[in-house]
Amino acid sequence: MNEEVSKPKYVGAMPEDEPRIGVYVCHCGSNIAGVIPPAEVVDFAGSLPGVVHAAETMYACADSGQRLIKEDIKKHGLNRVVVSACSVRMHEPTFRACVAEAGLNPFLMEMANIREQCTWAHGHDREGALEKAKDLTAAAVAKASFLTPLDMINVPVTKKALVIGGGVAGISAALDLAEQKIPVTLVEKQPTIGGVMAQLNKTFPTMDCSI
């Protein structure tokens, strides 16, 4: 198994290039801009060491927002990107793909969560929210300064599925997989598959039989 997995390339502790960071502060409509003025975060971030360009954007994740980032990477020769917007759980993959399309390694992008973890939680304290948004952006800039390019690791795939539970959902999943020529092991803890559905007498709203 190990031989087939690509190793991470040796990575130096420090990046080899001087950071040229672009910072994008998202309004997210009024989700962020309704609590703090993004322009102030842009002014603040624009002069941070390593930052060569900072801009606000209505929706960073929208086509127009992504296009702006991609164009700026070329126009300003950006080698790091900071997106101050929402949660990494929401859009980290989006912005990684965005910078990759502009030729940047996807791991040279860092996000600051100024929505879920700032404006949405601190609507009662706008001044505090603004200070926090600046700090989170600065911290993302600081981390971005030391980001190094990384390559995704390729792992082999065993072309077989396990479905746990032989109720209606599991049966449906198993059939769909098998019809795509994927072998499936369907595991059921009871002596028969069928789950709760098999116990039912007719089903709504069409009153057809359950088995």
Task: Quote the tokens at residue 131.
Answer: 């200070």
Task: Quote the tokens at residue 193.
Answer: 């598959």
Residue 178 is a binding residue for other proteins (CB under 8 A): yes
| Region near other proteins per CB under 8 A, out of 56-64, 67-75, 76-84, 139-147 | 139-147
Task: Quote the tokens at residue 185.
Answer: 């092991």
Residue 30 is a binding residue for other proteins (CB under 8 A): no
Residue 180 is a binding residue for other proteins (CB under 8 A): yes
Q: How far is the CB of 71 from other proteins (least distance, A)?
A: 26
Under a CB-based contact definition with an 8 Å cutoff, are residues 140 and 82 in contact? yes
| Region near other proteins per CB under 8 A, out of 22-30, 65-73, 76-84, 152-160 | 152-160
For β-strands 51-57 and 109-113, DSSP reports them as unpaired
Q: Hey, which residues between 61 and 90 contact other proteins (CB under 8 A)?
A: 87-90
* 40/75 with CB nearer other proteins: 40
Q: How far is the CB of 150 from other proteins (least distance, A)?
A: 4
Q: Which of 5, 39, 62, 97 binds other proteins (CB under 8 A)?
A: 5
Residues 6+ apart with CB under 8 A from 200: 210
* 12/75 with CB nearer other proteins: 12
How many Å apart are CA 3 and CA 154, to the nearest integer? 11
How many Å apart are CA 167 and CA 2, to the nearest integer? 36
